[in-house]
Every structure is written in C-alpha cells, then in structure tokens.
C-alpha cells in the first residue's frame, strides 16, 4: 500500500501537470483567436543556433548594418545560444504565403508582425512573463528603418527575426516535420516561421 506522502506527492504532480496543460490551452486559445492555427509546441532546446547563420547575415544579406533588429545590432551567437537556453517551452508558428508582386512582401510582413506582437502581449498578460516573439522576418514595422537599436523609433515593439539571432530555421523546423525549401521565384509559396519563447 502506498504511504500518504507518496500519494500526496503524486497528487501534487498531477495538479501541477493539470495546471500546466490548462495554462497552455489558454495560450492556444490566444493563438487561434489571432488565426494562428498551424503551430507546434517544442522544447526550446530544439531551437538550433549556428554560426553559419550569422556568417550569412554578414556576407550576403543586404540588411546587414542597416536594420535596428539585425546584425550587428544584436547579441553575439554565443549570447543568442545562452538566451534560448534560458527557456523550456516554445512555439513555432507556420505562416505560408504566395505574394502577387515581390513588393507586396513588405506590407504583408508588417501586418503579420503586428499580429504576432499582439499574441506575445496576450501570452505575457496570461502570466508568462518571459514571453518573447521572434518575427518570421526581419523587423519591418517602419517604412524606413533607422538602422540601430539606439535610434529605433519603436523600441517597445521591434523584435528580431530568428535568423537575426542565429537560429538555423531550416534545421529547426524540419526537425518537427515542417516544410521549408530554398525558393527560386516569388510565385512559389513561402513557408515562414515565427518563434514564441514562452517560459
Ligand atoms: S521598429 Fe522600425 S526602426 Fe526599430 S528596428 Fe523595426 S523597422 Fe527599424
């Protein structure tokens, strides 16, 4: 027969799990209220950080040195790795889109980022004080970016994209079964991914 201590311990464990699950259900309601129905819960340790991503930012990306939420205005790769190490639970949002014209991408990205920010805020208000959203793209909240963190005109809302924080998005999303390919034209569907660090 189990002793009382063991039964109490089991009961507490059950209550904790039940609380966590019902807490996450609340978050899922938030996601779905904002029309994010395609998402996956992951352990934050599944977010892969890699040096090659930062090298691609430095050599080959036109935004390098021009955006307030992109390298070199962001922490080092090691600091990014340590940042993700401070979380257990995260969510990947899959956002698929075909744009008619290449220039439509900026306005679409801005609208998605604004909506993602609302999700981050509501998750924060739900009691998850560490909630932090990574946009699916570089920060495009303004028409013209001021180019540095210090001069950012929207510090409260600006967030980095996962690549800015050296996340290997290809490896990370493929590891949970999501599609992602290098695209050769704007007429192809984009599979973009935003990451919410929860707790
Ligand atoms: S909020 Fe505006 S100024 Fe700040 S990083 Fe984003 S685009 Fe640049």
What is the reported pLDDT for 21?
53
Q: Is the CB–ligand 1 distance for residue 45 below 6 Å?
A: no
List alpha helices for 1-129, DSSP H.
4-33, 51-58, 77-85, 104-125
For residue 133, the cross-strand partners are 196
Look at residue 91 and give its three-state secondary structure.
strand
Q: Is the CB–ligand 1 distance for residue 63 below 6 Å?
A: no
Cβ-Cβ contacts under 8 Å for 31 (sequence gap 6 or more)? 37, 39, 91, 93, 119
CB-based contact 120:177 (threshold 8 Å): no
What is the reported pLDDT for 22?
60
- Ligand 1 centroid to residue 6 C-alpha, Å: 54
| Ligand 1 atom at shortest distance from the alpha carbon of 157 | 1
pTM for the predicted model, two decimal places:
0.88
Q: Is the CB–ligand 1 distance for residue 146 below 6 Å?
A: yes
Pocket test for ligand 1, best of 72, 109, 111, 145 (most atoms within 8 A of CB): 145
Helices (H) and strands (E) in the chain — how many of each? 5, 4
List the Cα angle 112/115/119 in 5-degree steps: 130
Q: Is the CB–ligand 1 distance for residue 153 below 6 Å?
A: yes
Rg of the Cα atoms in the chain: 19
| Ligand 1 atom at shortest distance from the alpha carbon of 140 | 7
Domain spans of the chain, in order of start: 37-197
Look at residue 60 and give its three-state secondary structure.
coil
What is the reported pLDDT for 162?
98
CB-based contact 74:165 (threshold 8 Å): yes
Look at residue 33 and give its three-state secondary structure.
helix
Digit-by-digit pLDDT tens for the chain (199 residues) are 444 444 444 444 444 444 455 679 999 999 999 999 999 999 999 999 999 999 999 999 999 999 999 999 999 999 999 999 999 999 999 999 999 998 999 999 999 999 999 999 999 999 999 999 999 999 999 999 999 999 999 999 999 999 999 999 999 999 999 999 999 888 899 999 999 999 9
Q: Is the CB–ligand 1 distance for residue 145 below 6 Å?
A: yes
- Ligand 1 centroid to residue 142 C-alpha, Å: 6
Distance (Å, whole) CA 170 – CA 137: 14
Which residue has the least CA distance to atom 5 on ligand 1? Answer: 68
What is the reported pLDDT for 187?
85
User: Tokens for 169?
Assistant: 């998005």
């Amino acid at each position: 027969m189990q002793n009382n201590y063991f039964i109490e311990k089991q009961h507490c464990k059950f209550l904790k799990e039940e609380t966590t699950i019902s807490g996450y259900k609340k978050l899922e309601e938030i996601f779905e209220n904002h029309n994010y129905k395609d998402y996956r819960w992951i352990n934050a340790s599944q977010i892969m950080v890699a040096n090659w991503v930062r090298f691609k930012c430095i050599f080959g990306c036109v935004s390098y040195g021009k955006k307030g939420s992109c390298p070199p205005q962001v922490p080092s790769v090691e600091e990014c790795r340590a940042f993700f190490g401070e979380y257990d639970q995260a969510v990947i949002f899959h956002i698929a889109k075909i744009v008619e014209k290449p220039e439509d991408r900026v306005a679409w990205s801005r609208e998605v980022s604004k909506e993602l920010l609302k999700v981050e805020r509501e998750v924060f208000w739900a009691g998850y004080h560490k909630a932090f959203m990574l946009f699916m793209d570089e920060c495009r909240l303004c028409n013209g970016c001021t180019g540095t963190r210090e001069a950012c005109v929207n510090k409260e809302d600006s967030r980095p994209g996962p690549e800015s924080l050296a996340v290997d998005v290809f490896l990370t999303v493929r590891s949970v079964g999501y599609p992602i390919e290098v695209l050769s034209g704007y007429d192809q569907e984009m599979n973009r991914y935003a990451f919410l660090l929860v707790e």
